[in-house]
Amino acid sequence: MKKIVITGMGAVTPIGHSVNEYWENVTSGKCGVDKISKFDASDLPVQIAAEVRDFDPLQFMTKKQTKEMDPFMQYGYAAAMQALEDAGENICAPERMGITVGTALGGISTIAETQAGITSGEHTKVGPRFVPKVIGNEVAAQVAINKGFRGPSMTVSTACSSGGDAISLAAMFINSGMADACLAFGTESTLNSLFILGLSSAHALSRNNDNPKGASCPFNKTRDGFVIGEGGGALVLETEENALKRGAHIYAELAGISNCTDGYHATSPHPEGIGAIFCMEEAIKNAGLEPKDINYINTHGTSTGVGDPIEANAIVKVFGDSAKDIYVNSTKGATGHMMGAGGVTEVITCVKAIETGIVPPTLNLVELDEKCPELNYVPLEAVKAEVNVAMSNSFGFGGQNSSVIVKKYNKYY
């Protein structure tokens, strides 16, 4: 296995349009959840979301590109451009630069809006940009076209594990010898009536419309579902050899990856958390570590009644007595559930925790659900902590599980 390091990061989130802005706000306790402003949601049972507000795509792309890209593409593209700029020039030969993208639902908003227009009679024609705007892989194509990358490129859609799996796939590209470096990013924008109605009928979303800032409350007793978020996150991964050769700044090492399925249910996680347990154990094994080596876990922690306690109890089963010594939080109280984007931005959160010695808070955790074991959930306020190794969990519909481990970079081992 080659040592893979992280040399570039980018983020577009509901609480910041750059990694630095995101980090400042997530550690200070800012919440990005509010009333939906992108369309009239007053007739919907769910009227709140964590939107990316005041985003100017022209800071990152041409006017022509904005017309060719759905919002999910714009957020991912912007995060990718940030990460590439952060990593520096001449990362590797164009044919040795890979791209992996994770998105759960691609251009669902453009699909929903277009169909609504046809059904209402507002228009009868569909423009030539429609198909490229809704296909998941087209955002990778836009990046490749802009930068002239010609290496391997794949887009994964594994529900809410998509972002984490994009990172894992990037590591596979590098370890297989197919690429020397890889841009891995996750991106999502699902704010439309169709998606909201589908999830609300499944009782998955919070209906706390009168208290948006308190609606996403992972592990809290009063939680009633997750809050939709949107955005993009990106990492540049490369071999240590390649990074050192070009004098790149190394943020952290990508230490371990894992992916598995529950084989249980189309939407619900296994009640005993067998997939989550196996996934975390395999990531630790892949990293060549022991459970006691993990200092911090950024959980999937979506604020659902079923998922939160299953994940928390799975952590206890994996980490045993050392579980109480681990910082265990969820940043979805601040960002909502960003789905494909969350798997990457939450790994960025882990990297920043290692870099700064700060663990962000789990917002709105006032009263722990009795079904959740007593752990250090970092409620309400960030804490200072020495973090050398951190894990990010992403679990999705269909029993998809992803765990990614990053650790402090050490040149000598």
How many other CB atoms are there within 10 angstroms of residue 39's CB atom? Answer: 13
The pLDDT of residue 1 is 77
- Using one digit for the tens of pLDDT, what is the confidence trace for 197-238? 999 999 999 999 999 999 999 999 999 999 999 999 999 999
How many other CB atoms are there within 10 angstroms of residue 305's CB atom? Answer: 14
The CA distance from 116 to 334, in Å, is 31
- State the pTM of this model: 0.97
The CA distance from 309 to 312, in Å, is 5
How many other CB atoms are there within 10 angstroms of residue 366's CB atom? Answer: 12
- Using one digit for the tens of pLDDT, what is the confidence trace for 43-60? 999 999 999 999 999 999
Judge if 4-245 and 259-407 fold alike in CATH terms.
yes
The pLDDT of residue 197 is 97
- Using one digit for the tens of pLDDT, what is the confidence trace for 289-347? 999 999 999 999 999 999 999 999 999 999 999 999 999 999 999 999 999 999 999 99
Interior angle at CA 207, CA 205 and CA 208, nearest 5 = 125
Known catalytic membership, residue 31: no
**Would you place residue 413 in the very low, low, confident or very high pLDDT band (cuts 50, 70, 90)?**
confident
The residue to which tokens 């049972």 are assigned: 45
Average pLDDT, the chain: 97
Extract the runs of DSSP E, i.e. beta strands, from 180-322: 181-188, 231-239, 252-261, 296-298
Query: Which candidate in 92, 182, 270, 337 is catalytic?
Result: 337
Strands 181-188 and 327-329 turn out to be unpaired
Q: Are 52 and 12 in contact (CB under 8 A)?
A: yes
Known catalytic membership, residue 160: yes
Interior angle at CA 188, CA 266 and CA 364, nearest 5 = 80
The residue to which tokens 């890209």 are assigned: 69
- Using one digit for the tens of pLDDT, what is the confidence trace for 355-397? 999 999 999 999 999 999 999 999 999 999 999 999 999 999 9
DSSP of 155-201: EE--GGGHHHHHHHHHHHHHHHTS-SEEEEEEEE---SHHHHHHHHH
What's the mean pLDDT in 57-72?
96
- Close Cβ partners of 145 (under 8 Å, ≥ 6 residues apart): none
Residue 411 in this model has a pLDDT that exceeds 90: no
Known catalytic membership, residue 270: no
What's the mean pLDDT in 26-44?
97
The pLDDT of residue 210 is 98
Q: What is the CATH number of domain 259-407?
A: 3.40.47.10
How many other CB atoms are there within 10 angstroms of residue 196's CB atom? Answer: 23
Burial string for 230-243 (b: 16+ CB within 10 Å, else e) reads: bbbbbbbbbbbebb
The CA distance from 186 to 218, in Å, is 22
What's the mean pLDDT in 177-200?
97
Q: Are 187 and 11 in contact (CB under 8 A)?
A: no
Name the CATH superfamily, with its identifier, for domain 4-245: Thiolase/Chalcone synthase (3.40.47.10)
Q: What are the distances in angstroms from CA 210 to CA 14, 34, 55, 138, 214?
A: 19, 10, 25, 38, 9
Which run of H or of E encompasses 404? strand 400-407
- Using one digit for the tens of pLDDT, what is the confidence trace for 96-122? 999 999 999 999 999 999 999 999 999
- Using one digit for the tens of pLDDT, what is the confidence trace for 128-156? 999 999 999 999 999 999 999 999 999 99
Query: Which candidate in 17, 92, 279, 300 is catalytic?
Result: 300
The pLDDT of residue 400 is 98
Residue 28 in this model has a pLDDT that exceeds 80: yes
Domain ranges in the chain are: 4-245, 259-407
Query: Which candidate in 160, 260, 350, 372 is catalytic?
Result: 160
